[in-house]
Amino acid sequence: MGKVVVALAAGCAVAACVVASMMVERSVRRRRAWRRVVRLLEELEEGCATPVGRLRQVVDAMAVEMHAGLASEGGSKLKMLLTYVHKLPTGKERGTYYALHLGGTNSRVLRVQLGGQRSTIIGRDLDRQPIPQNLMTSTSEELFDFVATLLKDFVEREEKGSITTQQESRELGFTFSFPVKQTSSSSGNLIKWTKGFSVEDMVGRDVSECLQQAISRKGLDMRVAVLVNDTVGTLALGHYDDEDTVAAVIFGTGTNACYLERADAIIKCQGLLTTSGGMVVNMEWGNFWSSHLPRTSYDIDLDADSPNPNDQGFEKMISGMYLGDIVRRVILQMSQESDVFGPVSSKLHVPFILRTHLMAAMHEDDSPNLTEVARVLKDTLEIPDVPFSVRRLVVNICDVVTRRAARLAAAGIVGILKKIGRDGSGGIAGGKTKVGSKNKMMRRTVVAVEGGLYTDYTMFREYLNEAMEEILGEDVAPYVVIKMTKDGSGIGAALLAASHSASSTG
């Protein structure tokens, strides 16, 4: 009996030793895995670093590239497309105007009534109409007949019961979110389709003319008065609300910017003989590139895997389409090099599965246990419950990626201000304003900003605003105002139709 007890006790001791040593081994392995992911996070932080000195280099590079792009076609990765828009709405416009926005997936029609008092916009939005998939690859006639029908139905509904008799043709602002080479403020030829469209008989043709013909086919009395892209619409609405607005930037699925260039810069660079006043330039800044941009292996892989490698480099670091996918790539790497996320989830291999709004939800999770992080990891990436420290790690990854994006975006904006002499530095463009000097005060400068990434992602917005102040310095920063606009891409086109119409301010 005694022997049995001794043997049992010895057995238990051995088992306890084995368990203990297994636990030690496991904890050593855990610690090693943890050290590995912390190292990867540190590398990510170093790779994404944006100290203010580097941001200033990006500012300078942006201003230099803007010059080069204006100077000659193909002179820069920035296309710097002339829009022939010389007049921005001032708030004095009167009358009723229509707008049509043909975007990536939706088509929208709206009407504004302007009372000449800036505040009296009555915008009426027709619900977004999805563009039927088959029309995206059909013929121009079918595509434009579809939007012309939307327009006609909308006009009939809006004007039903209205006693005012139509004296002049209705005026329409057309926002077309694809690359166009403008030939005037109301016409331009499609350069190429993007976003899954391929209506082959349209390429190279005048976009306004196609729409105008379709409108006529439907028997609608309406004139396409202006043709713009969405950034120009945003600038128009910004300027309508506040005449100090000189530039507009979109941070949505993609990113782009436009600004008001001085007449002499346009004449000198483009060889135009005259221009009446300044002109709005569509930068197509998503394609900006500079060796000063902090690039990581994740960015390089994302670009290589994309359908347009070496294209839209700035956009791939900044816009809503890509931020979530950078985070996915970092988590995948960490998961492959350690077991802190458990076995590698097959979902981590799926491109764009982690959408940016989900990334934002994790980043901005303020619950004590980071339950939102756990939920997104589980529901979207099929990563089962992970400890708090790992959830925290994910929040840190989101923070690094968004902070870099927002700070680079801010540098881009200051680059525009530098080009037009509004950054308070005297800049390349020879800006003569000097803060603090007695007679030459820095002018108030407004930049209109629109797009879901800016409006709905608080951390992105705060990092962007913070970086603006850092780059500009405390003396200049108060003169530069970032203003959010809403639906400028559509409303702005109607406002431009108004400011380009002879009857609106007369």
Is 357 a binding residue for ligand ADP by CB under 6 A? The answer is: yes
List the one residue from 69, 91, 188, 252 that touches Mg ion (CB under 5 A). 252
State whether residue 58 is helix, strand or coil: helix
CB 167 to Mg ion: min, Å:
34
**Which among 504, 502, 497 has a CA at the least distance from the CA of 175?**
497
DSSP 295-313: --HHHHHHHHHSSSTTSSH
| Shortest distance (Å) from residue 233 CB to ligand ADP | 11
- 452 lies in the site for ligand ADP, by CB under 6 A: yes
- From the list 286, 278, 320, 258, the residue with the least C-alpha distance to 448 is 258
Instruction: Please select the residue that binds ligand ADP; options are 95, 252, 278, 421, rule is CB under 6 A.
Output: 252
457 touches which of Mg ion, ligand ADP, none (CB within 5 to 8 A by kind)? Answer: ligand ADP
Contacts of 60 (CB under 8 A, 6+ apart): 415, 418
Nearer to ligand ADP, 127 or 474 (CB): 127
Shortest separation between residue 333's beta carbon and ligand ADP, angstroms: 22
Least distance (Å) between residue 230 CB and Mg ion: 5
Token pair listed for 325: 């996918």
Binding partner selected for residue 453 from Mg ion, ligand ADP, none, CB under the kind-specific 5 to 8 Å limit: ligand ADP
Strand runs (DSSP E) across 255-371, as ranges?
255-261, 279-282
Cβ-based neighbour number of residue 222 at 10 Å:
21
Task: Name the amino acid, one letter, at 10.
Answer: A
Min. distance of Cβ 325 from Mg ion in angstroms?
Answer: 19
Using the rule CB under 6 A, give the single segment among 207-215, 266-274, 435-443, 446-454 that binds ligand ADP.
446-454
Exposure of 159 by Cβ count < 10 A (0-12 exposed, 13-18 middle, 19+ buried)? middle
360 contacts ligand ADP (rule: CB under 6 A): yes
Number of Cβ within 10 Å of residue 354's Cβ equals 26
Residue type, 17: C
Number of residues that bind ligand ADP (CB under 6 A): 13
Residue 253 in the binding site for ligand ADP (CB under 6 A): yes
Cβ distance to ligand ADP smaller for residue 31 or 128:
128
Question: What are 262's two structure tokens?
Answer: 């001085």
Please pick, from the candidates 399, 456, 466, 487, the single residue that binds ligand ADP as defined by CB under 6 A: 456
Give the DSSP H/E element, type plus range, for residue 122.
none
Q: Considering the complex, what minimum distance in angstroms separates the CB of residue 489 from ligand ADP?
A: 7
Residue type, 228: V
CB of 325 to ligand ADP, least distance (A): 10
**Candidates 29-37, 141-149, 250-258, 480-488 — which segment interacts with Mg ion by CB under 5 A?**
250-258
Least distance from Mg ion to the Cβ atom of residue 435, Å = 34
Interaction of residue 188 with ligand ADP, rule CB under 6 A: no
356 binds ligand ADP (CB under 6 A): yes
Helix/strand/coil for 172: strand
312 binds, among ligand ADP, Mg ion, none (CB under 5 to 8 A by kind): none
Among 238, 286, 320, 492, binds ligand ADP (CB under 6 A): 320
Residue 142 phi, psi dihedral angles, 5° rounding: -65, -45
Check: CB of residue 413 under 8 Å from CB of residue 447.
Answer: yes
Which residue, 34 or 178, has its beta carbon nearer to ligand ADP? Answer: 178
CA distance 355 to 414: 28
User: Which pair of tokens denotes residue 361?
Assistant: 């939800």
What amino acid is encoded at 95 in this protein? G
User: Using CB under 5 A, which of the segments 107-115, 248-256, 302-310, 420-428 binds Mg ion?
Assistant: 248-256
- Return the structure tokens found at 9: 């006790």
* Identified binder of ligand ADP from the candidate list 457, 467, 468, 500, rule CB under 6 A: 457
What distance in Å separates the CA atoms of residue 357 and residue 363, rounded to the nearest whole number? 10
The nearer residue to ligand ADP, 48 or 360, going by C-beta atoms, is 360
The closest of 40, 262, 177, 327 to 317, measured between CA atoms, is: 327
Residue 327 touches which member of ligand ADP, Mg ion, none, C-beta under 5-8 Å by kind: none
Binding site for Mg ion (CB under 5 A): 252
Binding site for ligand ADP (CB under 6 A): 103, 252-253, 320-321, 356-357, 360, 451-453, 456-457
